[in-house]
Every structure is written in C-alpha cells, then in structure tokens.
Amino acid sequence: MSAFLDACRARPTAYTPIWIMRQAGRYLPEYRKLRSQVDFVKLTRTPELAAEATLQPLRRFELDAGILFSDIMTPLQGMGIALEFDPGPIVRDPIRSDAQIDALPALLPERDVPFVLEAVRLVRANAPRGVPLIGFAGAPFTLFCYLVCGRPSKEFAAARAFLYAHAESSERLLTHLADAMAAYLRAQAEAGAQALMLFESWAGLLALKEFRRFALPAVQRTVAGLRDLGIPIIYYANQGSALMQAVAELDVDVVGVDWRSPLGATRKILGASKAIQGNLDPAALFAAPQELRVQVDAVLADAGSAPGHIFNLGHGIWPDTDPDAVARLIDYVHECTTRE
Ligand code: CP3
C-alpha cells in the first residue's frame, strides 16, 4: 500500500502524498558532508554512495517516495559522451554534426551504467517504511539541449537554432535519445524502481508547434517503450503551461507542473484520468511557518478534492533551504489532507 503509487493512478488515498524534487542534495547537511569527501561523479557511480544519498532524505523526513540519486546526464556519460559537472553538466564536444549523431552508440544499461542499477537494488533493499522508489531520466529534448549546447544556459540558443537549421538531424538525435532512455528506464524498473519519471526541464523553451514537432514525439516514443512494465510514468514539464493541450496527448499517468501553471486549470486540460504533481514555489519554503501553511493551503485548494494529486515543489528545492522548513511542509501536507 502506497499513497504515492495510488495517487499516481488517480486512485483515492488516505492523505495527499508528498515528495520533493531534488530532495537528495545540497540543502541537507548530511549530503554536504558526503559530498565534501567525494566528487559528484564518483557519488553517482558508486552504488553504496548513491544509495546513501537517496536514503538520507527518507530517513530524515516522512516522505512518500524516494528518487534515485543520479543525474539526467549519467546515462550519456555511460554511452561514452565526455562531460564534467561544474556544477551543471559541460559536454566536451557538443553534438552539432550528422557524423557525431551517427557515431552515438546504443545504451546497454547493464554494460554502460551497472552502478545505477546496483544503486536501485540497494535502495530497494534498505528503504525505510517501504517507501517506493522513483527511477528517472531526462526527457529526450532536455538531453538534446545539453548535448547540442554543451553547457547549461538560459536560452539554449545553439540547441534551438539547431532545430531550425537541421530539423531532420535533430529528429534523428531525438529518436536515438528516446530509445536510449527507454532502455535506461526499463533497466531501472527491472532493478526495482516502482515508478519512472522523465524530466523535461527545458519544455518552456519551445512554442507549441515546435514542442509538438520535436519534443512530444520523442518522449512519446520513450513512454511507448515502457508501458508494458505496468508501472506509473510521470512527465515533468517545466514552464509548460502553454503546452498542456499537447502534453494531454502523452500516454503518461502523472504530469508534473511548475509553480507558474495553475493546478486547477491544468487538470481541466489534462482530464481526470491523469494525476498531477506539484507545485509549490521552491521560494515559499523561505516564508515564516504560518505563511508557508497559507501557501500550501492554496496549492491544495487549486488541486481540488478529486483523487490524483501528488504534492511537490514546482521545481527543485534550493540549496539554501532550511531542512526544518521541509519537515514542516511535509508534516502539514499530511496533517491537513488526512481523510478519515
Ligand atoms: O534528489 C534528486 O532529485 C535526485 C538527484 C538528481 C540530481 N539531478 C542530482 C544533482 C536529479 C533528479 C537530477 C536531475 C537533473 N539534472 C535535471 C532535471 C531536474 C531539474 O532540476 O530540472 C537537470 C536539468 C540536471 C542537470 C544538472 N545537474 C544541473 C543543471 C546541475 C547543476 C545545478 C544543480 O541544479 O544542482 C547538475 C548537478 C547536480 N545534479 C547536483 C546534484 C545533487 C549538484 C552537484 C553537486 O553536488 O555539486
């Protein structure tokens, strides 16, 4: 029995489940301690350490789901793409030619990222309270942004220009990434992940037309390759409020939304069969305790009383957030949504 897994299927739950994007990370003193001893890449490639970072927030808080400690770029690194984290991902040779696209190998998870699969098994064996584990990957278009641009950016100009200048090459790269991420997520599920999430962190860069042409078919290809697993699939569309009519067509169970997209209006567009995840502004964790409750009440009211709401932030938690504010948030969501 898991409130999180039931809510993913838009089934009624005893209370509204909550987990927090980027919950395993730098706002936690115990993570910073671990990180002061080992660099980020080593953390992601050492199963015991990745499992430890995944479990840290689950021990400290009454979270309803865990998310594997890893990065969206980790499988690409496993495929042989040279990259570093500083702190965001920097790709040594950005992909800008057909020759580079054709040279990309397929991802064979057991060969290329065995440490991720081992971390999944370790988390499953040690998760407190039987908390379910979410496996994840970057959605193809978001990975495309990093691969073509080569580094984090506000505009990802090189990546967006590539879509227009080389539309067919773009589609080939997106298809390759879609297949690689399907293989990657399938392997995580087979190792024990109980839900799968695709992060489309850069959805908001695209107009509806380009989203439909490039991002949507690629992520649908990934999702189609996973449906037979029978576990919930979550698609997080950051800054995607203008895209929801297209997102509604995607065969996923849950749509994650950022804090700018009103939950009630988004649910109307998505329909009752999809659950929704979100969307407290990460900045709201800096409010005084009483004001934080007011902000949480507003998110819950907007989500409405129909089943299928997973409480979360609208994007990743900020590194300077007070862990005690997180504890207050989780307790309050549980307390005020408990249904007799
Ligand atoms: O707790 C969790 O959510 C699990 C771990 C996780 C990380 N990255 C660890 C990480 C997850 C789910 C991600 C996903 C990720 N990575 C996304 C999608 C989610 C989102 O925020 O939109 C994106 C776009 C990336 C790419 C990335 N990796 C960036 C931009 C950065 C640097 C800035 C930042 O947000 O931290 C990273 C590095 C990274 N990934 C760190 C962590 C804990 C910081 C590394 C460090 O400890 O120095």
The tens-digit pLDDT sequence of the chain (340 residues) is: 899 999 999 999 999 999 999 999 999 999 999 999 999 999 999 999 999 999 999 999 999 999 999 999 999 999 999 999 999 999 999 999 999 999 999 999 999 999 999 999 999 999 999 999 999 999 999 999 999 999 999 999 999 999 999 999 999 999 999 999 999 999 999 999 999 999 999 999 999 999 999 999 999 999 999 999 999 999 999 999 999 999 999 999 999 999 999 999 999 999 999 999 999 999 999 999 999 999 999 999 999 999 999 999 999 999 999 999 999 999 999 999 998 6
Separation CA 292–CA 297 (nearest Å) = 9
Ligand 1 geometric centre to CA of 50 (Å): 13
102: Cα within 13 Å, side-chain hemisphere: 4
Separation CA 338–CA 340 (nearest Å) = 7
Ligand 1 geometric centre to CA of 168 (Å): 30
Angle, CA 176 vertex, CA 111 and CA 165 arms, to 5°: 145
Residue 111, burial from CB neighbour count under 10 angstroms (0-12, 13-18, 19+): exposed
pTM: 0.97
Ligand 1 geometric centre to CA of 3 (Å): 26
**In this structure, which amino acid lies at residue 232?**
P
| Residue 98 appears among annotated catalytic residues | no
Ligand 1 geometric centre to CA of 12 (Å): 32
Ligand 1 geometric centre to CA of 340 (Å): 38
Q: What is the end-to-end Cα distance of the chain in Å, rounded?
A: 17
Asked whether the bond before 126 is cis by omega within 30 degrees of 0, the reply is no
| Residue 146 appears among annotated catalytic residues | yes
Given the residues 22, 172, 213, 328, the one annotated as active site: 22
Q: Tell whether ligand 1 has an atom less than 6 A from the beta carbon of residue 89.
A: yes
Structure tokens, 168: 């067919």
Give the Å distances, CA to CA, from 64 to 220, 280, 336.
27, 16, 15
Q: Which of 56, 71, 141, 143 to mutate to test the pocket of ligand 1 (most atoms within 8 A of CB)?
A: 71
The residue contributing the CA closest to ligand 1 atom 48 is: 87
| Residue 22 appears among annotated catalytic residues | yes
Q: Tell whether ligand 1 has an atom less than 6 A from the beta carbon of residue 151.
A: no
Atom of ligand 1 nearest to the CA of 85: 38
| Residue 151 appears among annotated catalytic residues | no
Q: State the DSSP H helix or E strand holding residue 136, giving kind and residue range, or none if neither.
A: strand 133-138
| Residue 71 appears among annotated catalytic residues | yes
**In this structure, which amino acid lies at residue 6?**
D
Between β-strands 89-91 and 254-257, what pairing exists: parallel, antiparallel or unpaired? unpaired
Atom of ligand 1 nearest to the CA of 238: 22
The residue contributing the CA closest to ligand 1 atom 5 is: 69
Given the residues 9, 15, 26, 60, the one annotated as active site: 26
